[in-house]
């Protein structure tokens, strides 16, 4: 059975955090690095395709696989 939490002294894996921004006009999705203050349903930046405002729809972390 896998452990959910690391033991004392065990290093935790690095998990970079990302933000997904959706454009309501053209349905373009953009993945970018998380910035402090990002939260779901916050107005994002400008869409690169149609230049309308985007909406943050997801904030998540990815586990880095060490080989």
Confidence of residue 65 (pLDDT cuts 50, 70, 90): confident
pLDDT over 90 (residue 4): no
Buried residues in 3-40 as b, exposed as e (16+ CB within 10 A)? eeeeeeeeeeeeeeeebbbbbeeeeeeeeeeeeeebee
Distance CA 47, CA 65 (A): 31
pLDDT in tens, 10-60: 777 778 999 999 999 999 999 999 999 999 999 999 999 999 999 999 999
pLDDT at residue 43 in the model: 95
Total-model pTM = 0.75
The number of distinct structural domains making up the chain is 1
Distance CA 60, CA 14 (A): 13
Q: 46 lies in which domain range?
A: 1-67
pLDDT at residue 14 in the model: 79
């Amino acid at each position: 059975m896998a452990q959910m939490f690391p033991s004392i002294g065990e290093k935790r894996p690095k998990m970079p955090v990302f933000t997904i921004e959706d454009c309501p006009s053209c349905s373009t999705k953009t993945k970018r690095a998380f910035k402090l203050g990002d939260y779901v349903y916050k107005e994002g930046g400008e869409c690169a395709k149609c230049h309308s405002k985007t909406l943050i729809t997801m904030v998540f972390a990815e586990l880095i696989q060490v080989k």
